[in-house]
Amino acid sequence: MKDFWSELRIISCWVWPIALLVAGGMSVVVALNHRGPRFPRVETGFLLWGALFLFAWVVLIGYVNADARRRGMRHIMWTLLTIFIPYGVGAVLYFVLRDPMLISCPKCNTRCRAIFVFCPQCGTELSPSCPACKRAVEPTWHRCAYCGRELERTSDPMVQSS
């Protein structure tokens, strides 16, 4: 549950009031269009569930925007897809296709993609690589899967020598 609340903290502070305004505004519009007291409990229930749905939808859009931004993705494109692709398919596509979290370079603190072997800013090695072909290798590998060269290990499995 702790992770859930920490994930919600990435949503911009302006999204929450907008979600409340959208849900409250829609509730007022529906309440003003009410025609007589035929089924007041049922209509009130639909009104509350509809307002809750709209609130959650706006918060989800805000989350997709913030999460795509922190992952280095095209946040405006994913936000628009989440809004305009119907039935929540845009949000589902985002969660299926989103990139992994960015990592920080230990030397210069530049944000880099997790698949990078070297930092694009300072050239520091971010993950183990083959000394021959410079492709990323797993720490448990004894040979490079790309060029076949034997990988020599030092006492630290993250450091390799040629």
Residue where a domain terminates, one of 73, 99, 125: 99
* 90 and 146 co-located in one domain: no
Residue where a domain terminates, one of 51, 83, 99: 99
* 91 and 108 co-located in one domain: no
* 90 and 31 co-located in one domain: yes
Residue where a domain terminates, one of 51, 80, 99: 99
Total domains in the chain come to 2
* 138 and 82 co-located in one domain: no
What are phi and psi for residue 24, nearest 5 degrees? -65, -40
Q: What is the pLDDT of residues 97-156, one digit of tens each?
A: 999 888 888 889 888 887 788 888 888 888 888 888 888 888 888 888 888 888 876 545
Alpha helices by DSSP H, listed for 71-112, are: 75-84, 89-97
* 110 and 46 co-located in one domain: no
Helix then strand then coil, in percent of the chain rounded to 5, is 50, 10, 45
Q: What is the pLDDT of residues 23-66, one digit of tens each?
A: 998 888 777 776 666 666 677 778 888 899 999 999 999 999 99
Q: What tokens appear for 70 in the block? A: 């922190």
Model pTM? 0.72
Residue 80: give the domain boundaries.
2-99
Number of neighbours of residue 112 by Cβ within 10 angstroms: 19
